[in-house]
Amino acid sequence: MNGELYIIACGVLGALLFVLGGTEIPFFKRGFKWLRREVLPVCWGMLAYSAGFEWWQCLGLAVSFDIVFRLPYGDRTPVWLKAVVFCAMPFASLWLGFNAWQVITGVVCFCLWALSNWKPAAKIMDWASVCLLMGALFGITVGKLIAQTY
């Protein structure tokens, strides 16, 4: 697989599994947080491993994303803490290196959350759309780090 395919695979998996992990599925009357918290980080770790990263880097990536995807950003969380959480999430990928996408993704994710909570934009930026975009951004960040090895 080449670098671009890693970006695509990580971005698509991120978009799909992140949003499914945070959205109630009417048929089941609940969401499946484990898709976001466990399955998605493991998939990214396996993709990184297939690209030649060391096993400990891939394990660190998976465990770190599992942890940051459990951090609080619900209704009862103060705005300052949500800013910290959203800006910190992409840095779980530091196991694979550093690039500008980690910074960009953190800032954009907080802005997406802010738009989803601002009444004039809330109908356009509903939570499912925000989760989809955030998951894709996290995935692109991981994919870009993997692609740097090519």
pLDDT by residue (tens digit) across 8-23? 999 999 999 999 988 7
Residue 111: count other Cβ atoms within 10 Å of its Cβ.
14
pLDDT of residue 64 exceeding 90: yes
First vs last C-alpha separation in the chain: 10
> Which is nearest to 37 in space by CA: 21, 25, 55?
21
Q: Which residue has the higher pLDDT, 87 or 22?
A: 87
- Give the model's pLDDT for residue 74: 80
Cβ burial 41-65 (10 Å sphere, 16+ → b, else e): bbbbbebbbebebeeebbbbbbebb
Confidence of residue 129 (pLDDT cuts 50, 70, 90): very high
- Where do we find the tokens 């530091």? 94
Query: Does residue 73 carry a pLDDT above 90?
Result: no
Note whether 32 and 19 are within 8 A (CB): no
| DSSP-assigned beta bridge partners for residue 25 | 30
- pLDDT value, residue 98: 96
Q: What is the mean pLDDT of residues 89-101?
A: 96
What ranges do the domains of the chain cover?
A: 3-147
Mean pLDDT of 32-37: 92
Q: How many CB atoms lie within 10 A of CB 22?
A: 20
* Length of the chain counted residue by residue: 150
* The pLDDT value given to residue 148: 92
- Mean pLDDT, residues 48-69 taken together: 97
